[in-house]
Copies of this chain bind each other. A is one copy, B any other.
Amino acid sequence: METISESRCYGGVQGVYKHASDATGTDMTFGLFLPEEAEHAPVPVLWFLAGLTCTHENAMVKAGAQVWAAEHGIALAFPDTSPRGEGVANDDAYDMGQGAGFYVNATQKPWAPHFNMFDYVTSELPKIITNNFAVDEERQSITGHSMGGHGALTLAMNVPQYRSVSAFSPICNPTAGDWGRPQFTNYLGSDETTWERHDATLMMRNVGLDIPLLVDTGANDQYADYLMTENLWAAVAERRKAATLRLQPGYDHSYFFVSSFLEDHVAFHAEALYA
């Protein structure tokens, strides 16, 4: 593993690292914030999955998460949103290919064999981080924004390792919309039964969720037609499990919205991670 940079931040360290990934068959870059407490003992970690067009860097520099993570003694992991580089398939559209992995394992060429962001984020990168840093494998939670909110919700309903899940402006029902159908067709093929486990609304209906859930979406989100928030909310209500779903009046889809409510989300996860 190569250290790209390490900067002191709120008493801890904001690092950027690069490593060869088995899951994607490429080099992958990620950001990791370690609070000061990590100097003494392993700390819990909150995963932040970023949205379309983002790299590991966007949330790391724009969300303002470190201040709250430092306050609560929580690490923050910022993975990339897709494999990248020469030899990796791409598409001219901003919402397909590099920067738009949708947190699935692609089965269709040319996206297979590199686009395995599901395995990368749920399995390979957690091992790398917990093996190389003072991060506690037993205490992981997950959040994300937009496509990353979709990722946080669907990963949390597919694998058991998270203690809590939250999302900002998540894509809620990708099998029904333009942020989902074209991508799943490309990555997973036309058999829509393979799409279901990557759709938060369908998973909430079919499988449900037994960890704490918090979702914030801006009432003025300019991509509301792509997100289909209402479908997830209906599915959550049908499950009758504890959940907090909020529409924030006046807020849009930007990181200005995300940053405005990150304090709440980190505190929400801290409660689960330190329980």
Contacts and interface: CB of A to CB of B under 8 A. Distances in A.
Contact of A257 (B9, B67, B250): B9
Interface stretch (A58-66, A155-163, A165-173, A192-200): A58-66
Contacts of A8: 218, 220, 248-252, 256-257, 260
Interface in A184-206: none
Contacts of A64: 64, 67, 259
Nearest to A63: B64
Nearest to A252: B7
Contacts of A251: 7-9
A70 to B, nearest CB: 8
Q: Chain B CB within 10 Å — which of A14, A248, A256 has the most?
A: A256
Interface in A234-262: 248-252, 254-257, 259-260
Interface in A253-273: 254-257, 259-260, 263
A248 B218 CA distance: 37
Interface of A: 7-11, 14, 61-62, 64, 66-67, 218, 220, 248-252, 254-257, 259-260, 263
Interface of A is mostly: mixed
Q: Please tell me how many copies of the chain the complex holds.
A: 2
5 contacts: A7-B256, A8-B252, A10-B260, A61-B61, A66-B259
A249 B11 CA distance: 9
Contact of A9 (B7, B10, B66, B256): B256
A10 B249 CA distance: 11
Given A11-B260, A67-B260, 15 more contacts: A7-B252, A7-B257, A8-B218, A8-B250, A8-B257, A9-B251, A9-B259, A10-B259, A10-B260, A14-B256, A62-B62, A64-B64, A64-B67, A64-B259, A66-B256
A249 B260 CA distance: 29
Nearest to A10: B260
